[in-house]
Amino acid sequence: MAEQPLRESTYLRLARELRAAILRHDYPEGVRLPTEAELAAHHQVSRQTVRRAFQDLVAEGLVHRVPGRGTFATPRDEQYLRQFGSVDDLMGLSIDTRMDLVAPLHRRVDVDAAGRLGLHTDQVHKLAFLRRHEETAFCHTAVFLPPAVGRLLESVPELTEAGAPSAFTVIGLLDQRLPEPIDEAEQSITVAEATPEIAGHLGCAPGRALLRVDRVYQSVAGQLVELAISHFLPEHYSYRVRLKRSGH
């Protein structure tokens, strides 16, 4: 099991454990989560710590409070419904877009990707695909996976045959196969010039300014499971987030 961050707050660790239980459907619809007092006694923490953990889960849309009854998991089809930019939103890309494989899943040595995934080896599994809306290619994505994670996808034909179109997302496929579900992603956004290879796939001139979005996905157990590097044509894509003041 991957180690937890050394200085992770107690309430964040508790929120992580509860989040994992909810995503595993340990608390199906209508089943109450343990009370603040029960969780405080079980984990030997203060009720204030439990309350802060619950506040995080409420803000994420994973649980809701019912006065006089307790705390319940939000029905699966409503989780993250209004959270723009959530992990579930990324999994839902397949609803109105298509993934066309341009480089089948294969093993290779990539020191940079292995380092970003925290691996003790330089070998990773890699694949690349175009994301299309109708027939317009708007994104090229290269995906890097730890060897143990890559092996989980080796039998998926849509990831092993060049040119194969599919309605999947890689994180959606992984979420069905990993022992623990994907929980979060760390994201960075920069501008990058189109390489000749990427320009050829996106139909733009080499050197064209593209929006580059890097995401490193993590499971609820804290394991880094995927690095995705995407290049977007800016005329076909915009990135929006909603920022709120804390406490509101």
Parse the chain into domains and list their residue ranges. 10-78, 87-236
The burial of 230, by beta-carbon neighbours within 10 Å (0-12 exposed, 13-18 middle, 19 or more buried), is given as: buried
- Report the C-alpha gap between 177 and 4 in whole angstroms: 22
What pLDDT is recorded for position 76? 59
Strand partners, 142: 128, 229
Provide the residue count of the chain.
Answer: 248
Q: Which amino acid is at 28?
A: P
Identify the CATH number of the domain defined by range 87-236.
3.40.1410.10
Phi-psi region of 240 (alpha: psi -120 to 50; beta: other; left: phi over 0): beta
Count CB-CB contacts under 10 A for residue 235. Answer: 8
Asked whether residue 114 carries a pLDDT value surpassing 60, the answer given is yes
pTM of whole model > 0.75? Answer: no
pLDDT in tens, 50-89: 999 898 888 777 888 888 889 998 875 544 433 334 555 5
Instruction: Provide DSSP, 155-219.
Output: T-GGGTSTT-EES--HHHHHHHHSSS-EEEEEEEEEEEEPPHHHHHHHTS-TT-EEEEEEEEEEE
Among residues 225, 220, 226, which one has the least CA distance to residue 26?
Answer: 220
Q: Which of 77, 63, 11 is nearest to 32 (CA)?
A: 63
Please say if the pLDDT value at position 192 is more than 60: yes
- Provide the H-helix boundaries in the chain: 10-23, 36-43, 47-60, 87-91, 111-116, 147-150, 170-177, 196-202
Answer for the pair 193, 207: CB distance below 8 angstroms, yes or no: yes
Across residues 215-220, what is the average pLDDT? 91
- pLDDT given for residue 93 in this prediction: 55
User: CATH number of the domain at 10-78, please?
Assistant: 1.10.10.10
